Structure 1
Amino acid sequence: MISTRFQNKIFIITILLIGVLLYYPILKNNFVYDDYYTIVGNPIIQTDNNPIHYFTNPAAYYNRLGYNHNYRPIGAWILSLEFSYFQFNPEYYHALSIILHAFNAIILFFIFSNFFNKPVYAFLGSLIFLIHPVQTEAVSWATEQTLLWGTMFILLTALLIINKEKIPKKIYYLYIPFAFLSVLAKDQFVILPILVIAALWFLKADFKKYFAEIAVTSSATILYIILRAIIIGSFVTQQEAWGGGNYPTFLTMSNVFAKYLSLIIKGGPLTINYDDFPVTTNLSPQTLLSVLIVISFMAALIIFKKRAPLISLGVAWFFVTLLTVTNFPFPLNSLMNERFLYPALPGIIIVVLSLVMLIEKRINIWNRPPENRHPEQNGGSRGFKNGFNNRFLASLRMTKKLFPQFSNGPSLPFRPSSLILTALFASLLIYYGINTRNRLYDWRDEENLWNSALKLSPNVRNWTNYIRALSINGKDEEAARVAIDGGAQYGSFNYYVDDIKSRFNLYPDVPTVNDVKDAQAVRLAIIYSRMKKFREAEAVLKPRLRIINNSNSRRVAITLSDIYLKTKDYDKSISILRNIQKGLRPDDEILFKFALSEFLKNGTMNNLERLSGLLKNRILKKMLPTLLLAYKEKESGNWKKVSLLLIPTLTSNPMAVLIEPYLWLGEAEIAQGKFESAIQVHREILRIDPSSTDARRMLKKIEELQKNQENQNY
């Protein structure tokens, strides 16, 4: 007879092995998407390990101007500690994510062991949590380690509280720091006291014995609310409710919950972006069905409270952990995300395992002696009415008549229920495992990630990010093709593509370009510019050149001016910049480009004093002559002189006004074979602008050059 302790050890080792074997492909994955705002391009996380600063600086977690609504002080601080050891090596972050995910599955195994009398149920439940495809976003995305850490802390809190009577006091009181860490690591876990109260309620615990635990978990949530109110001053990420009111929000979120259940059951299809999830204002048949599903789940809380409390607990777990992302009462900037399901999935697993346990009890009547086949014995009817039991017994008697060879249960060499359930669970785990492995490959890099999203949902965001990912990987021809044909190939984007009507083509040998709006026109022109197809770039932008009176028209004009600068058509560049100054108040970027065009046209700085005097940034004003000379040397291919001019200048006077000088320096360092120096320059660009396609593109190029150099050395 195998002891329970030995059996648990086998289960734990199996969970670890399956976790590593299933998720190891992500070790080869790169940083993606928000990783550049939270890790790669975040100067605070890279330089500051003082936890106090993460409590007082709302922008510490996410390096993006005006984007400070994610208050996760402990989560951000943990990322800073990780960066101290892992630096810019994504494989280390991914390895830690695998370990955290497997560890969370092990904690769940022990939690489930308290709920189910068979360890195999707890094992199967933890495997579903480990393998399920909806977990891939949280595990594959380095940024979402805050979610993995927060889940670990909240699960440890729950495990300790559930086992209060079994654990030594010194260990038990660890639930106090774990409770505070969970809430401060991930804002989704402010629901901790509600989850604890729900668990105690449905497990029929004595609330008087757990008053301290409720007080501690509530204190953690109250502390977070106070800190967020002081530091950020807001609990919303957008001001207006979805659909304009609570009723449309309720209808929409009912559809979201139905979608969540669909993803859990089917394991897909999965995407990083659910922006096109429809906002519902009317009670359509589909929405009515979603509302009925939500009401049914709510009803299950009451119906099963006495008869099958674990089902009620599972439903409560699922809904409570999703409370903060329901857009009630505070609207978020997104309706749904797969990662929201990471801490909620155990609730559905508890429901499923509870139902399986109840069904197995009734199926096992088959394997009992005839005199013991009454389901009311040994608690067999718990949770079911006599009518159901009678119908169930009638079906068994009919089966006995049809298959008399199986009439005597004890003669069977196995339990049919066990065999059936084992086959079902094995099939389910294999199905989920295959879907998870396939989904992990979508997270290899941004090109695969956004390509998979675009195939599933042909919307603007997916289209734009896929084009950008292609550009980062140096696939300019394909990026241009997708940008041009995007409307026809991926759908009509009502607010990004204007009826796909053609403009007058200035050059007969240039293919007709769709009338994309300004942002995509600029993006396409930049792609052409990288390919040295300046005539095509001009053809894209010139029809959109108009009176400069807003940011869109300004960006079109500046990009076209840059193209003329590269083609050395300085008069046209100066003319456009003058028009910008007439329409808008000139800023430092425009004044610098104007000074550069004037200098390159005249070859002298004699007439630049007036422009220099208009510059607001003191560092830029001081550096202006050096920057102009550096650009001239760059155009002449004198890379050593470019480095000599820019390295001391940018080192002693770092600036965030312009990233162009850093790009010139990076180009010069690459040309001289100084790859490590070039890497540092482009990482500095990402600290200034984490979204810089040029910086990420050049880092990719440097990586390829280093590999080629290594191959040549061998």
Structure 2
Amino acid sequence: MNPHRRNLIIALLLVVITFGVYWNVRDNSFVNIDDPQYVTSNPFVNKGLTSKSVLWAFKTTFFVNWHPLTWLSHMTDVELFGLNPGGHHLTSLVIHIINTVLLFFLLNRLTSLPWQSAFIAAVFAIHPLAVESVAWVSERKNVLSSLFWFIGLWAYIEYLKRPNFIRYAAVFFSMAIGLMVKPMLVTFPVTLLLLDYWPFNRFKVGEQTTLPHVVRLFFRAVIEKLPLFALAVASAIVTYVVQLHAYAVQPFSQLPLSRRFATAADSYTQYLKKMALPYDLAIPYPYPDTLPALNVFLSAAFLTIVTIVAVRFWRSRPYVLFGWSFYLLTMLPVIRFIQTGREAIADRYTYVPMIGIFLIIAMGASDILSGNRFRKYILTSAAAACLIYLTAFTWVQIGYWKDSYTLFSHSIKTVEGNYMAYNNYGAAFLDDHKPEKAVEFFAKGLQIKPDSSELNYSMGEALTRQGKFEEAITYFARSSSLMFFDGEAVLNKRYGIVLLKEKDYAGAVSYFKISLAIHPMDTEVLNNMGIALMGLNKSGEALEAFSRGVAIKPDSGTLRFNKGLALKSIGKLNEAIAEFEEAARLNPSSETVRNTLNSARHQAAGP
């Protein structure tokens, strides 16, 4: 068969297989972990691609990251599909399929081994560890940044064929764009150095090559990539500063260096286990209070032995050292030397790194059986069995991402002591206006980890919804150590809401002011601030708060209505009627809005 035609058929099969395995993702909902912040409750994203939203995307460090192209991606989906989750899921799936096809063509071009390349791409496409990146809308940044990673690799191959400034610039800008999606690409220059080693052999590795000569060529390749390393360092600094200012980085006083190395060693081996046995996948995996010393020792010993073996093969089978180094180095940014968040590991982090392991398996199996006359049949049968095995687990795993209830009930059953999953499971009931049920699961989570800031805050929220304000304040106070996502602003907002419901308007205003000083664009706080000021008979100041809210979120019927009430109270009846009319248009089913509008019109008409 013509090689070009064969490769196109393989690419088409990869598309069909991946679509078939992931097709049910179109029926999945948004989930309550990050999706509200990235899409469903984000007022800038919800407006689609407006000039104001685009500007915000490039300026904001909201959610402890600077990734403007991620925001633009979600805004584009809203522009196309609104808040229909099926459209958002299919966009992520399409990007994943493009990544799969690109990976196949890249590997085939690098190795001239189409069937091994096809197997690696197929495993990448349907491995259960990839489900979190594809089926979770908020992880669009993972699949999208990987797309630019692969494009950058392709550009580098072209650059090596005929080096010039334009081709180098294509490599540089592919990396830069990828970093604007997710900073995971900080290791991109290292992957280029690995390609220089194998398969391009720019270091002239061979039986007669001396180590000093290899080192000289290596440093020459590093100098060639200095602009890319500079870009990586700049991105790492920006990410670190943003997360440090959001109190998302745990200091060494809380997490010593020895514990970080122990966690890293344990995590590397855990990921390998999940690649081989992907039956216990969940989200999230809480950071363990203790790590058994034996586990850490065995993990460190295993990693050391594999590394020594890979180095021993650096001349005879360079793909082993390439694949192992690719896995170790691309995983490095998320292996928890710099500890952020409360997750020990996460399936999504393996999306690109696991390619290195798949490559060793595919190339190694072919090498081991090179002299066997049944080689073709053995490899074909083993590959088919492997893909069927992975497909079964992936199909089930996609189903767990159906909605928040399904996802977190599975996580509670899968990961022992998963207090974080209890928090999100309870939050699902809270979102469905079932605070009594939410309290039950928040309490179970607090039994596991009483000092959890998130759980204490969530319990305070649920009790507030039940009108149990004094109990709520107690839990909010316990969550005062909340470190993530501008916790001070969040807590002051909640304190203010509790006081507003108790009609302590002056106290509520003081807390709302603190919250707004941190988050001046929070429309919920602006609305509640206006209500509290109306309670203090400060209609002019209330009007200012409501007007600020309307300027940020003009499609809010609640803000429009309250602004109308403030205008009416200071005698600006015609302007109030205009706001009531807009509120009625936005909330046509609200009897209160209709009655208030009719009353205002009657008053304006006179006796």
1:74 touches 1:184 (CA, 8 Å); kept in 2? yes
Q: Name the counterpart of 2:149.
A: 154
Which residue identity lines up with residue 249 of structure 1 in the other structure? R
Q: How far 1:266 sits from its partner (Å)? A: 0.7
Q: How far 1:19 sits from its partner (Å)? A: 1.1
Cα separation, 2, equivalents of 1:468 and 1:296: 45
1:241 touches 1:331 (CA, 8 Å); kept in 2? no
1:642 touches 1:665 (CA, 8 Å); kept in 2? no
Query: SS at 1:335's partner residue?
Result: strand
Residue 71 of structure 2: which of 71, 76, 94 is its match?
Answer: 76
Residue 304 of structure 1: which of 313, 338, 342 is its match?
Answer: 313
Query: SS at 2:151's partner residue?
Result: helix
Cα separation, 2, equivalents of 1:547 and 1:313: 51
User: Using a 3 Å threshold, how does the CA distance of structure 1 residues 586 and 91 change in structure 2: closer, same or farther?
Assistant: closer
User: Using a 3 Å threshold, how does the CA distance of structure 1 residues 114 and 38 change in structure 2: closer, same or farther?
Assistant: same
Query: SS at 2:424's partner residue?
Result: helix
Range moving further from structure 2, 212-221 or 426-435: 212-221
1:58 touches 1:232 (CA, 8 Å); kept in 2? no
Residue 273 of structure 2: which of 244, 251, 262 is its match?
Answer: 262
Q: Name the counterpart of 2:43.
A: 43
Q: Name the counterpart of 1:184.
A: 180
Deviations 1:627-682 (A, max 9, x none): xxxxxxxxxxxxxx9999537459999xxxxxxx9xx99997545599xxxxxxxx
Cα separation, 2, equivalents of 1:316 and 1:222: 20
Aligned pairs for 1:395-544 (under 5 A) are 415=374, 417-457=375-415, 458-473=417-432, 478-479=437-438, 481-482=440-441, 487=444, 492-495=447-450, 519=457, 521-526=459-464, 529=466
Q: How far 1:473 sits from its partner (Å)? A: 3.7
1:544 touches 1:556 (CA, 8 Å); kept in 2? no
Q: Does residue 1:104 correspond to 2:113, yes or no?
A: no
Q: How far 1:75 sits from its partner (Å)? A: 2.9
Which residue identity lines up with residue 447 of structure 1 in the other structure? Y
Q: Name the counterpart of 1:248.
A: 259
1:134 touches 1:268 (CA, 8 Å); kept in 2? no
C-alpha RMSD of matched pairs (Å): 4.6
Q: How far 1:358 sits from its partner (Å)? A: 1.5
Deviations 1:502-551 (A, max 9, x none): xxxxxxxxxxxxxx996465345356x3xxxxxxx65xx66788899887
Deviations 1:5-50 (A, max 9, x none): 1111110000000111111111122222212112223334445458
Q: Name the counterpart of 1:220.
A: 231
Which residue identity lines up with residue 108 of structure 1 in the other structure? L
Cα separation, 2, equivalents of 1:31 and 1:517: 21
Which residue identity lines up with residue 60 of structure 2 in the other structure? P
2:327 touches 2:354 (CA, 8 Å); kept in 1? yes
1:58 touches 1:71 (CA, 8 Å); kept in 2? yes
Q: Name the counterpart of 1:570.
A: none
Cα separation, 2, equivalents of 1:651 and 1:21: 57
Cα separation, 2, equivalents of 1:167 and 1:554: 59
2:26 touches 2:89 (CA, 8 Å); kept in 1? yes
Cα separation, 1, equivalents of 2:440 and 2:585: 28
Q: Does residue 1:646 correspond to 2:562, yes or no?
A: yes
User: Using a 3 Å threshold, how does the CA distance of structure 1 residues 480 and 355 change in structure 2: closer, same or farther?
Assistant: same
Deviations 1:248-297 (A, max 9, x none): 110111111111111111113111201243454xx711111111122123
Q: Name the counterpart of 1:619.
A: 542
Residue 329 of structure 2: which of 320, 345, 351 is its match?
Answer: 320
2:464 touches 2:472 (CA, 8 Å); kept in 1? no
Cα separation, 2, equivalents of 1:143 and 1:340: 14
Cα separation, 2, equivalents of 1:39 and 1:104: 23
Cα separation, 1, equivalents of 2:592 and 2:22: 36
Q: Name the counterpart of 1:332.
A: 340
Q: Name the counterpart of 2:59.
A: 57
2:527 touches 2:559 (CA, 8 Å); kept in 1? no
Aligned pairs for 1:227-246 (under 5 A) are 237-241=248-252, 244-246=255-257
1:49 touches 1:77 (CA, 8 Å); kept in 2? no
Q: Name the counterpart of 1:294.
A: 303
Q: Name the counterpart of 2:4.
A: 5
Q: How far 1:131 sits from its partner (Å)? A: 0.4
Q: Name the counterpart of 1:194.
A: 190
Query: SS at 2:189's partner residue?
Result: helix
User: Using a 3 Å threshold, how does the CA distance of structure 1 residues 235 and 10 change in structure 2: closer, same or farther?
Assistant: farther
User: Using a 3 Å threshold, how does the CA distance of structure 1 residues 645 and 340 change in structure 2: closer, same or farther?
Assistant: closer
User: Using a 3 Å threshold, how does the CA distance of structure 1 residues 666 and 555 change in structure 2: closer, same or farther?
Assistant: farther
Cα separation, 1, equivalents of 2:461 and 2:306: 47
Deviations 1:303-328 (A, max 9, x none): 12112101111111111111111233
Q: How far 1:449 sits from its partner (Å)? A: 1.4
Q: Name the counterpart of 1:412.
A: none
Cα separation, 1, equivalents of 2:118 and 2:38: 35
Which residue identity lines up with residue 444 of structure 1 in the other structure? K
For structure 2, which runs of at least 5 residues remain unmatched after alignment?
Answer: 204-216, 481-490, 516-524, 548-556, 570-579, 594-607
Q: Name the counterpart of 2:28.
A: 29
Which residue identity lines up with residue 452 of structure 1 in the other structure? H
Q: Name the counterpart of 2:202.
A: 205
User: Using a 3 Å threshold, how does the CA distance of structure 1 residues 557 and 39 change in structure 2: closer, same or farther?
Assistant: closer
Deviations 1:184-227 (A, max 9, x none): 32101111111111221243225599679624533532553576
Which residue identity lines up with residue 454 of structure 1 in the other structure? I
Query: SS at 2:369's partner residue?
Result: helix
Q: How far 1:240 sits from its partner (Å)? A: 0.9
1:109 touches 1:123 (CA, 8 Å); kept in 2? yes
Query: SS at 2:363's partner residue?
Result: helix
Which residue identity lines up with residue 97 of structure 1 in the other structure? S
Which residue identity lines up with residue 278 of structure 2 in the other structure? G
Which residue identity lines up with residue 202 of structure 2 in the other structure? A
Which residue identity lines up with residue 196 of structure 2 in the other structure? L
Q: Name the counterpart of 1:398.
A: none
1:236 touches 1:331 (CA, 8 Å); kept in 2? no
1:150 touches 1:189 (CA, 8 Å); kept in 2? yes
Cα separation, 2, equivalents of 1:643 and 1:52: 23
Q: Name the counterpart of 2:206.
A: none
TM-score relative to the length of structure 2: 0.74
1:518 touches 1:556 (CA, 8 Å); kept in 2? no
1:160 touches 1:167 (CA, 8 Å); kept in 2? no
Query: Which is higher, the Rg of structure 1 or of structure 2?
Result: 1
User: Using a 3 Å threshold, how does the CA distance of structure 1 residues 543 and 619 change in structure 2: closer, same or farther?
Assistant: closer
Aligned pairs for 1:547-566 (under 5 A) are none
Q: Does residue 1:175 correspond to 2:171, yes or no?
A: yes
Q: How far 1:137 sits from its partner (Å)? A: 0.7
2:283 touches 2:421 (CA, 8 Å); kept in 1? no
Cα separation, 2, equivalents of 1:360 and 1:210: 35
User: Using a 3 Å threshold, how does the CA distance of structure 1 residues 587 and 185 change in structure 2: closer, same or farther?
Assistant: closer
User: Using a 3 Å threshold, how does the CA distance of structure 1 residues 433 and 277 change in structure 2: closer, same or farther?
Assistant: farther
Q: How far 1:149 sits from its partner (Å)? A: 1.6
Cα separation, 1, equivalents of 2:427 and 2:167: 50
Q: How far 1:100 sits from its partner (Å)? A: 0.9
1:321 touches 1:344 (CA, 8 Å); kept in 2? yes
TM-score relative to the length of structure 1: 0.63
User: Using a 3 Å threshold, how does the CA distance of structure 1 residues 214 and 454 change in structure 2: closer, same or farther?
Assistant: same
Q: How far 1:161 sits from its partner (Å)? A: 2.3
Q: How far 1:164 sits from its partner (Å)? A: 4.8
Q: How far 1:477 sits from its partner (Å)? A: 6.4
Cα separation, 2, equivalents of 1:356 and 1:479: 51
